[in-house]
Amino acid sequence: MLPLSMSNSNQGQGQSSAIPPEDRTAAAQVGLLEQRLKQANRLAGVCLVLLVVTVMGAALALKSKTPKLEPPAVAETAPAPAQLIDTERVVAAEQAAKAARSRELAVRARMQSTANPELAILLALEANAVQRTTQAVETLRETLTHFPLHALLRAHKEPVKGVAFSPDGKWLAAASLDHTASIWDMATKRRVAEMKHDDEVFTVMFSPDSSKLITSSEDTTARIWSVPDGRNIAVLRGHELNVWTACFSPDGRLALTACLDNFAQIWDCETWQSVRKLGGHTSGVDDAAFSPDGKKIVTVSPDGTTRVWDVATGNTLLNVKGHMHRVSTAAFSPDSRRVVTGGSCDPPKECNATVRVWDIASRNNIAELRGHTDRVNWAGFSPDGKWIATAGDDRSVRLWDAEKGFMLSQLSGHEEAVTMATFSGDGQWILTASLDGISRLWATPRPSGAATVDPLIVLRGHQHSVTDAAFSRDGRFVATGSEDDTVRIWEMPGGSESSLKTGAIDELLALGRARAARTLTPEERQQHLQQ
């Protein structure tokens, strides 16, 4: 018996020899295909490995170049819809409350615009500070229109009796019962000079070239001062009692004084000596003035007479007594040919406060203007000579046709005696002052109609009587003096007034703060702001 390995080997050899030749060829081809397939698989595996390595390398390279990003912040949790709605409601409620408060203050401001325009401006400013509602802005605009205060000048300790602008518009002067006169710079509104008398000062007036100032005083003198430093140039001595008024001639070569001692005097402005003493009145000379041409002087007196004098000779050109009692005021016409005079009453006698117009050459009373029922404090011609304005203790201002002598309009509104009235340089305005503490601006007749009955602007703010008022030469400003010891400067229509209609809110706020010139008092804050 043979071993098993030998037996199998021989068996295989036997079988191989038994396979047909065509079968052996096919088997060889199959083996070759299997071998090539294995080689392809091995090559694909190598390629796959290389591809993976390449991709990994590129990824590593890209990672090294890419900046490190911070992890995203964790977003806050958004409020719930209910919380958002509540917040919006709170904000809306707060805004509504502010708007309501602003409107309330605006209403309070409008209520004060007539009685206390300065307080009205302060309340309008508060309304805009709370919230700039349309009503608050328009109220501020309206109150500013009613209160055109430009500056409040505090310097005197007693009532201010007279105010005057320099012809060049650079300076403003005031006379006070505190024995002093002051000069302010109109550009800065600062007082640049204080001039002292020995007693009360009544009037101030600048020379035509604005270089000098003349003052009159109860200390029996008139004094000349340099402008603007207030240096004393001369003391005009020669009167024995109060010097009521003092002024320069139109050419500045002469000065004129009127005194309670029954005399007026003419002074040379080079030597400061008296060159003529005008005597004839039997009582004090209350007022005196040069004619526009500088050739005549008019004086009035409680003796009931009006006198016109020749400056060159000192002779009397007119001496008339047409009023029942004292003559309180007189003024020349622009052509220097006529004089208008105002009479006063002497209670308890019957009042006959007439206004008369006199022709100097013929010495005739050419017009008698009747209407006032009490003392006439002021009378004067318009710059063109067409109208005459008068003001009296009967609280009225009257405008007359100077040629025909009839009244054009009665301007009513003041609650106390009207102390003076004056025309602007262009004749378009009449400025009045009153014991009621108010000044008013009235429009004169236009070619198409009569004078305005209601005042265009009411200048409120003084705490006591307004004693004097004046226009600046260029018509831009008005100055008022008062027994409250202050001087106020007001801006005429056409200055910043023109910007009130279209000005931005910031401009209005700045103008309001400038004009109010003060803050709310504790009492006002308590009453109107509940603070």
Mean pLDDT of the 490-504 span: 62
Res 54 pLDDT > 80: no
Q: Does pLDDT of 516 surpass 80?
A: no
pLDDT for the residue 459: 86
Residues, the chain:
531
Q: What are the pLDDT digits (tens) for 303-323?
A: 999 999 999 999 999 999 877
Q: What is the pLDDT of residue 28?
A: 53
* Higher pLDDT, residue 458 or 167: 167
Q: How many helices (H) and strands (E) does the chain have?
A: 7, 32
pLDDT in tens, 221-238: 999 999 999 999 999 999
DSSP notation for 236-288: E---SS-EEEEEE-TTSSEEEEEETTS-EEEEETTT--EEEEE---SS---EE
Quick one: average pLDDT of 435-447?
87
231 against 459, higher pLDDT:
231
Q: Give the range among 64-78, 88-102, 311-325, 382-396 with minimum mean pLDDT.
A: 64-78
In the chain, the percentage of residues whose pLDDT exceeds 90 is 58
Q: Is the model more confident about 293 or about 513? A: 293
Q: Which pLDDT score, from 0 to 100, does residue 56 have?
A: 61
- Specify the higher pLDDT residue, 345 or 20: 345
pTM above 0.75, yes or no: no
- Residue 70: pLDDT band by 50, 70, 90 thresholds? low
In three-state form (DSSP H/G/I as H, E/B as E, the rest C), the secondary structure along 196-229 is ECCCCEEEEEECCCCCEEEEEECCCCEEEEECCC
Q: Is the pLDDT of residue 30 over 60?
A: no
Q: Residue 500: its pLDDT value, please?
A: 56
Task: Render the burial of 279-304: b for 16+ CB within 10 Å, e for the rest.
Answer: ebbeebbbbbbbbeebebbbbbbbbb
Q: What is the pLDDT of residues 148-177, one digit of tens each?
A: 777 889 999 999 999 999 999 999 999 999
47 pLDDT exceeds 90? no
pLDDT at 361: 96
Q: Which residue has the higher pLDDT, 525 or 16?
A: 525
pLDDT at 380 (0 to 100): 97
Answer for the pair 153, 488: CB distance below 8 angstroms, yes or no: yes
Which pLDDT does position 162 carry in this prediction? 97
Who has greater pLDDT, 528 or 346? 528
Query: Is 66 a residue whose pLDDT tops 60?
Result: no
pLDDT for residue 42: 64
Q: What is the pLDDT of residues 321-353, one digit of tens each?
A: 877 778 989 999 999 999 999 987 766 556 667
- The full set of domains in the chain, from first to last, is 99-148+497-531 (no CATH), 150-496 (2.130.10.10)
Average pLDDT in the chain: 84
3-class secondary-structure state, position 108: helix
